[in-house]
Structures are given as structure tokens and as C-alpha cells.
Structure 1
Amino acid sequence: MALPVWHPESLAARRPFLTRRAVLTRETRRFFADRGYTEVETPYAVPAPGEEVHLRPFATRRTFPDGRMEPLWLHTSPEFAMKRLLVAGAGPIFQFARVWRNGEAGATHAPEFTMLEWYRPGFGLDALIAETTELLRAVLPPVVTCRGVRTELSRVECLTVADAFARHAGADLLAIGEDAPALAAAAGTRLRDGETWEDLFFRLLLERIEPHLGRDHPTFLTHWPAAQAALARRDPADPRVAERFELFVCGIEVANAFVELTDAAEQRARFEQDRARRHAMADPAGEPDWPIDEDFLAALAFGMPPSAGIALGFDRLAMIAGGADRIGQVLWLPPADLMI
């Protein structure tokens, strides 16, 4: 039987990873301070956690002194709050935020974890890739090994989603468009019953593409189909794709980044589309719903500066820094199931 996480022997087994995590935290803060960033803190309990279709927030509520109650949700990301601060003129900013995502648990997933997010006004995709590369090299050794994968940081690979599908799935993703049967035929696979284009896109991404990413060197997977980047600006040179990247190191997805969408009308339309999809997938007798984040849309309409931002899973970065096999090893008091 496994020891409880509070047992001295259990903590002693985690201690080397936690010590490395503490060093990583200090070095990360120094990195951003040296580049003129301000560390911020934003609320964790929010009236609207966003319209992301595949994320499930934890519900809570606030009780006022007069007895009134307001439903709230533990945020899945500090993104909307930090963008409000960009509107207010606070940027460049970064935050170590505790975030919550219900229904997630595994070797690299925890339902409560630390997200490192930063935003820089005036940055584009290339500048953010360069800064993220600088961060990796500043806080990690030149060679890292995690979960059996050895990665050298001496160079990085930038690969578009379209090029990745052509290379590893044999499909011209952008020419095919959102045509599920055509994508299945091009990739040489069978379209499953009820499988949508989005379902097939992510199946191919998981099975054919991600196993090749971020192994010998970190990979920035860039220029995602516009339908898969609800908060990112469309690429002015090709509106079929959005200015988004995901970062893979040691074969692990570490970060997700956007050149931020600043058009309030377009953002509202995307929210409404995602909201409809989210409602269509939801259990009618299940969790309560929330309103569209009108305050965030009002902030966008007021005027957010052109910016780029990134959300990096700090626990995963700590795993890579210390060579941990499971996310529970880099948490001070992990849920017991994350230690199995």
C-alpha cells in the first residue's frame, strides 16, 4: 500500500524534485524581472470562466453580508483577467496562478495546478517564440531528460500545423478544409461513427503528430487552423490559420500561446459559437451554466494594445527540470491518485 502523501518517507522521495522546483521558480521570476515585467495577481473565483468547449470549471459561490449569493467558478486560466490589465496599461505582466480544471488527472495532468502566464504588448509570434526559447535556456540545463525522452535546447524546431499534417499524416490540411471524410481519406484512416472534423483533427494530432514533437529538440507547433484558436488573431497573410503555437519539450505539451485577438465584435462572435457548441455537448441535468463575460468584451471594446501571450504549465516545466516521471512528484501535497 502506498504511503500517504504527508508521510515523512513520501515527502523525502519528492524532496529532490521540490527543491529543484523552488530553484526553477526563483530563476523564472528573475528572468521576467530582468526583462521589465511586473508580477501580478488576479482573482481565482470569477463570474464567467470562459467558453472553452473542452474545459470543465469547478463551481463555487460567494455569500454577501446581506445574504445574497453569487455563483462563481474557479478559473481555468487567468487569461481574461490579465488581458483586462493590458487594457488598463499594466503590461508587460506575468503571473504564477493556481488554476483548476475538473475531470483532469494523470501522469502529466492535475485538477489543480500552477499556470505561468505572461503577456507583452507589441509582441508578435516570432518575438514570443524567441522569448520563450530564452526562458527555457535560462532556467533549464542544456540537455533535459523526462519520462525517458532526452531533449537538447541548443536549437528549436518551428513547424506549422499544416506542415506537420503533411509530414506525419499525409494530408493537405488547409486545402481540405473542415471536411471530415476528405481528411480521413487523405490520412488513410476510417471516419468513426459520429466523428466530426474536429474530433478527427485531434485524433490525428494525438496519434500521428504529437509522438514526433519536442523530442530531440523543443518544437513550436505554429499556425493552427482558425477554428482551433478561439482567442488568437487570424494570420493577416492567411486567414485560414491563426497566430497560435503550442510548445513541446521532452515530448510533453508545455505551453499554448496566441497573438491576441483584440477585436471585440469578432471575439463575441467566437464566444457565441463556442457557447453553442459547449451547450450542445453539456449534460442538461449536470453543472450550472454561466453568462458570457460581458466585462471582458467591454474591456476589449475599450481597447487592448496589440499583444502576445502564453500560458505555460509550470508543474510540467518542473517535471522536465527535475526529470520527474509524474506530476505528483513536483507537488508538495498531491492528490493520492497522482502518486500512483
Structure 2
Amino acid sequence: MDRREVARARARMQAAVREFLTRREFDEVETPCLVPEPAMEPHIDAFRAPFVPEGGGAARPLWLHSSPEYAMKRLLAEGFPRIFQLARVFRNGEVSDTHNPEFTLLEMYRAHTDYRGIMEDLEETVAACARAVTGGTRISVGGRPLELAPPFERLTAQEAFQTRAGVDLAACDGRADRLRAALRERGLGVAGDGDSFDDLYFRVFLEVVEPTLGLGRPTYLVDWPAPMAALSRLKPGDPRVAERFELYAGGLELANGFSELTDAAEQRRRLMEEQGLRARLGRPVYPLDERFLAALPRMPEAGGVALGLDRLLMLLVGARTIDEVLLFPAREFLAPR
């Protein structure tokens, strides 16, 4: 793949993002890459980068951010109604055909809407990128056509597990023991009894459900089980599910988004649970971002999403690996010597 042409395609894609979102009255913002409290996702490790005072003194712990989410939500709380960022983000240990430890996210938030509103913003943005890079919205992935014009398919996690795996997630009610029993009944492989609900969900999801998503046109997988709410709010009227979504297209996971949680006490509880899980997994335990938690009560109802721009570019130019769309992929210097 011609590196120069790929670089030009990236430039056209990023220009299309800026032009489209600016027309929709989004403000482009920048937030720090170095942060004193990184995001708390249990399975993501941040790069530690201590600040050492030039004149001497104790080093202060800082990390390269894995997402600009906390900072951008503080901007929502300050009154920014529509914001986006083309953010360089960093995740330690992630190297594969679809992962690079340094990559680019489109992170965007819109106040006074929910996950449905931000999904509409996102699918229009993806279509604008497709037109900028390919001249249209119909591409080919693995010899099969993929239409990137809105609207995208919307499929609930309940529907996906019921139709693809024969598992009734609602009946499991977020309990690992019930999900484990349902998987065993269907003859789906499960590990030991100590696996969490998340572990069981993702094992079956990756093997059985994910390969069926985003074929023909992109798929939003929506309304995730409540134990997997992350930073999203629970669905009003049905607390068994969270207003969370992921976007899949042509076999790739492209984006993750929410109706944003604004309950500071609930958010603190979830983050402390994740601290405990990180400790049990033997991962570094990060401090809570108290400034983020203090801002949450002032934050309006909002929808937010993070889109992996490198993966979207892979899709649009027909790349097989993320290395093909990066001028300097990490595997060049992380390969065994």
C-alpha cells in the first residue's frame, strides 16, 4: 500500500471530520495528553510518565491519557454545548493487527441529547469521511459490499445474543452464575466458576456475536447489560440495560459511546469498583479524578462517543492491518530483536 497515498487519505478524512462537525456547530478543543488521573477501565493500562521538577524534588506521577473523556466532560460542565477532538491517545501493551499503543480517536460530545442523538451525528460523520476518501459511501470489504450511508442498523445486545447464541441476556439479570448456566446449556465453552459477568459476556461475544455484525452496512450494538454500563447511564424505565453502544463495520469495532452518566455518587461507586477489579487483576490502581467527579453534577444530559480513526481509515482504504495506515507503526520498533 502506497504510504504517501494513505497519508493523503488520512488528511482528507480528518479534514472531512473538521468540516462536517464545524458545520454542525461543534467546537474543536484540545485537552492535555499528560494527566494526573488516567481513565480507570479495568483492562487498559496507561503509560506512566512522571514529572520530575527541573530544580529537584520528588517526582509527581503523571500518565499519558488513554482517552480525553474526563477532561472533555469537564468542558461540557463549563457550558461547552458541542465539542470534538482529534486526540492522540496511548494504551500500554496493545499491539496487534488492529491495535497500536499510540493512535488517534475522534472524541465528540453533544449536550441536551442522548445516545440516539450522538449515534446520528456519528453515522453522518462516517459517511462524510467515506465520501472524502473514496468519493462515495459504498465500499468493498473482503469482496463484499458495505454501504456506509445512514441510517446504520441498530441491534440490542439482547437481540444479538438471542439470535446468534441462543442466550437470553435479560433472564440472566446481570448475574454471572445465570449467564454461565445459560452458556453451558447452549454448549458454549466457558472457563472456571470465578469468571465475572463481563468475562463470560465477552468470551461468547467475540467468538459468536461479533463476526456477524456490520456486514452489508454498519451495526450499532445498543442497550448493553447494566453491569457493563461503564460511564453510561442506565435506561430510564429499564435499569437492566445501559444506554451504551458500540459500532461495527466490515468486521471491525470502530466506536464506543454512551448516554453520559451525570450522577457523581454513582460514578464514584463504579470507579471504586473498577479500582478493586484492577487490584484483583494485578494491574496498577489509579487515583480517582476528583475534578471530574466534582464537575459531573453541573454537566447537562449528553451523548458522547469515541471513534477509532485509524480503524476507520483501514476500512476506507482496504488495509488488512493498522500498520498499513500508520507512517511509523509501533511494531517497527517493538519487534523482537
Considering the TM-score relative to the shorter chain, is it more than 0.5?
yes
**Does 1:83 pair with 2:79?**
no
SS of 1:183's equivalent in the other structure is helix
Superposition deviation, residue 130 in structure 1: 1.6
SS of 1:70's equivalent in the other structure is coil
**Does 1:235 pair with 2:235?**
yes
Q: What amino acid does structure 2 have at the position aligned with 1:185?
A: R
Could you report, residue by residue, the CA deviation over 1:14-60 in whole angstroms, capped at 9, with x for unpaired residues? 22222111111111110111000110000001111122101011001
State the partner residue of 2:2. Answer: 13
State the partner residue of 1:298. Answer: 294
**Does 1:157 pair with 2:153?**
yes
State the partner residue of 2:133. Answer: none
Give the conservation status (yes or no) of the 8 Å contact 1:125–1:308: yes
SS of 1:84's equivalent in the other structure is helix
Could you report, residue by residue, the CA deviation over 1:270-318 in whole angstroms, capped at 9, with x for unpaired residues? 11111111111015xxx5x4311111111113x1111110000011111
Superposition deviation, residue 185 in structure 1: 2.8
State the partner residue of 1:54. Answer: 43
State the partner residue of 2:25. Answer: 36
Could you report, residue by residue, the CA deviation over 1:167-219 in whole angstroms, capped at 9, with x for unpaired residues? 00101101122124323234322432243332111011001100000111100
SS of 1:62's equivalent in the other structure is coil
For the aligned residues, what is the CA RMSD? Answer: 1.8
Could you report, residue by residue, the CA deviation over 1:39-91 in whole angstroms, capped at 9, with x for unpaired residues? 00000011111221010110011123442321001111000000011111123
Give the conservation status (yes or no) of the 8 Å contact 2:147–2:217: yes
Report 1:142-181 matches (<5 A).
142-146=137-141, 150-154=145-149, 155-177=151-173, 178=175, 179-181=178-180
State the partner residue of 1:5. Answer: none
Compare 32-41 and 132-141 and name the one that shifted more. 132-141
SS of 1:53's equivalent in the other structure is coil
Residues 37 and 273 from structure 1, CA distance in 2 versus in 1: closer, same or farther, beyond 3 angstroms?
same
SS of 1:22's equivalent in the other structure is helix
Residues 270 and 148 from structure 1, CA distance in 2 versus in 1: closer, same or farther, beyond 3 angstroms?
farther
State the partner residue of 2:110. Answer: 120
Q: What amino acid does structure 2 have at the position aligned with 1:222?
A: V
Residues 196 and 54 from structure 1, CA distance in 2 versus in 1: closer, same or farther, beyond 3 angstroms?
same
Report 1:92-241 matches (<5 A).
92-140=82-130, 141-146=136-141, 150-154=145-149, 155-177=151-173, 178=175, 179-193=178-192, 194-241=194-241
Which of 309, 315, 327 pairs up with 1:332? 327
Q: What amino acid does structure 2 have at the position aligned with 1:145?
A: S
SS of 1:227's equivalent in the other structure is helix
The separation in 2 between residues aligned to 1:153 and 1:332, in whole angstroms, is 26
**TM-score, with length taken from structure 2:** 0.91
**TM-score, with length taken from structure 1:** 0.90
State the partner residue of 1:26. Answer: 15
User: Gaps spanning 5+ residues in structure 1: where?
Assistant: 1-11
Give the conservation status (yes or no) of the 8 Å contact 2:45–2:91: yes
The separation in 1 between residues aligned to 2:47 and 2:334, in whole angstroms, is 22
Q: What amino acid does structure 2 have at the position aligned with 1:210?
A: E
**Does 1:45 pair with 2:34?**
yes
State the partner residue of 1:271. Answer: 271
Aligned length: 324
The separation in 1 between residues aligned to 2:127 and 2:235, in whole angstroms, is 28
The separation in 1 between residues aligned to 2:274 and 2:143, in whole angstroms, is 37
Superposition deviation, residue 339 in structure 1: 11
Superposition deviation, residue 236 in structure 1: 0.3
Compare 258-267 and 136-145 and name the one that shifted more. 136-145
Q: What amino acid does structure 1 have at the position aligned with 2:196?
A: T
Compare 185-194 and 102-111 and name the one that shifted more. 185-194
Give the conservation status (yes or no) of the 8 Å contact 2:197–2:227: no
Give the conservation status (yes or no) of the 8 Å contact 2:180–2:200: no
The separation in 1 between residues aligned to 2:142 and 2:229, in whole angstroms, is 29
The separation in 2 between residues aligned to 1:264 and 1:70, in whole angstroms, is 27
SS of 2:81's equivalent in the other structure is coil
Q: What amino acid does structure 2 have at the position aligned with 1:20?
A: A
Residues 71 and 171 from structure 1, CA distance in 2 versus in 1: closer, same or farther, beyond 3 angstroms?
same
